[in-house]
Amino acid sequence: MTISKMLLGAASLVLATGAAQAESHMSETSDKRIALSNNYAGNSWRQAMLQTFKETGEQAVTDGVVAAADAYTTSENQATEQAAQIQNMILQGYDAIVLNAASPTALNGAVKEACDAGLTVVSFDGIVTEPCAWRIAVDFAAMGKEQVDYLATRMPDGGNLLEIRGLAGVFVDDEISKGIHEGVAEHEQFEVVGSVHGDWAQDVAQKAVAGILPSLPQVVGVVTQGGDGYGAAQAFAAAGRDTPLIVLGNRQDELQWWADQRDATGYETLSLSIAPGVASLAFWVAQQVLAGEDVPKDLTVPFLKITQDTLDDALANTSEGSVANVTYELGDAKQVIADAK
């Protein structure tokens, strides 16, 4: 036998072995049941997140990768209610819980109960600190700071900023706000002169901004958390005040407003947020853990950023009422896991 034939035969054997191992890992989870525990669904980001999980889970069930992929959302954003939901999932015999948590610490007891019962728990977006759980997150503090860094490039002389926060008491809100204030401390030409909670929803943000505007001096920039930029813009317009530079959060209504303002006046800004499709990544990470893969406990994904150059493409691929998104496949999850190692 020639060396080339020997190498070809060896390569074929490797490919066949790899395919067999992949098929084996899939079959190892074919009887497993995964549940999503979600604490809040009151904005377009959460709706897109739930839809992405639903589509990913349904396809995985159809393909025989898992036996079930069910999603549950609490009626109130309360850690006690979500803890009870997790306990019910344990009783219902799920093998893994994909968790968007109301609190990084208040659910640790319920998460530990799940782990002790043999369940795999993968938290994402709203992560938990319980050591037995896996965590998938972006650096939310860095996302907040990047907003101020960007404003500094656009307005080197600085000025007054309005901060629109998210849902009070939630880890994500605290981290983004922390990053914003770190950025302001670094760029001393800026000052936060007002702060309101917009709950990551444009109608709530619009009302909150409208309520505080009469007490504010001139505002040159608005730092946000997502789902609030369009509401802020509407409030400034209704008050007859100049539109400041508003950092957006990838919602379709924000992107459309941005495009309209760009076309009319040359308005330029930045939009960034975690992609709701991180739920699909969390699903595949849970599947890989159930399949026996060695998965690091902490995984990081980049936030999704939209610039003036990518606005049109992002808007064209974002349905009305939704949010710019990225869906993760099994191969993406394997790459994220490999990068973490």
Quote the radius of gyration of the chain (alpha carbons, Å).
22
Q: Using CA atoms, how far apart are residues 62 and 250, in angstroms rounded to an integer? A: 31
**CA 122, chain centre distance (Å):** 14
Q: Give me the chain's average pLDDT, please.
A: 92
Report the pLDDT value the prediction gives residue 25, as an integer from 0 to 100. 54
Beta carbons of 43 and 200 less than 8 angstroms apart: yes
Beta carbons of 247 and 229 less than 8 angstroms apart: yes
pTM given for the model: 0.82
Q: Using CA atoms, how far apart are residues 330 and 269, in angstroms rounded to an integer? A: 34
Residue appearing with tokens 């043999």: 118
More confident residue, 280 or 168: 280
**Total count of residues recorded for the chain:** 341
Max CA separation in the chain (angstroms): 86
Residue 219: closest CA among 164, 142, 140, 144:
164
Report the pLDDT value the prediction gives residue 20, as an integer from 0 to 100. 39
pLDDT band at 138 (very low <50, low <70, confident <90, very high): confident
Q: Using CA atoms, how far apart are residues 303 and 323, in angstroms rounded to an integer? A: 13
The whole-number average pLDDT for the span 293-301 is: 95
pLDDT band at 26 (very low <50, low <70, confident <90, very high): low
- The strand pair at 271-273 and 304-306 is best described as antiparallel
Domains along the chain?
A: 21-137+275-302+326-340 (3.40.50.2300), 140-273 (3.40.50.2300)
Tell me how crowded residue 262 is: count the other CB atoms within 10 A of its CB.
Answer: 15
The whole-number average pLDDT for the span 3-8 is: 36
Residue 172: closest CA among 147, 204, 143:
143
Burial of 303 per CB tally in 10 Å (0-12, 13-18, 19+): middle
pLDDT in tens, 61-97: 999 999 999 999 998 889 999 999 999 999 999 999 9
Residue 232: closest CA among 335, 224, 317:
224
Amino acid letter, residue 110 = A
The whole-number average pLDDT for the span 189-211 is: 96
Report the pLDDT value the prediction gives residue 64, as an integer from 0 to 100. 97
Beta carbons of 127 and 135 less than 8 angstroms apart: yes
- Tell whether the model's pLDDT for residue 305 goes beyond 80: yes
Q: 51-57 long-range CB contacts below 8 Å, 24 or more apart?
A: 51/276, 52/276, 52/277, 52/279, 52/280, 52/325, 52/327, 53/98, 53/279, 53/280, 53/283, 55/280, 55/327, 56/279, 56/280, 56/283, 56/284, 56/327, 57/283
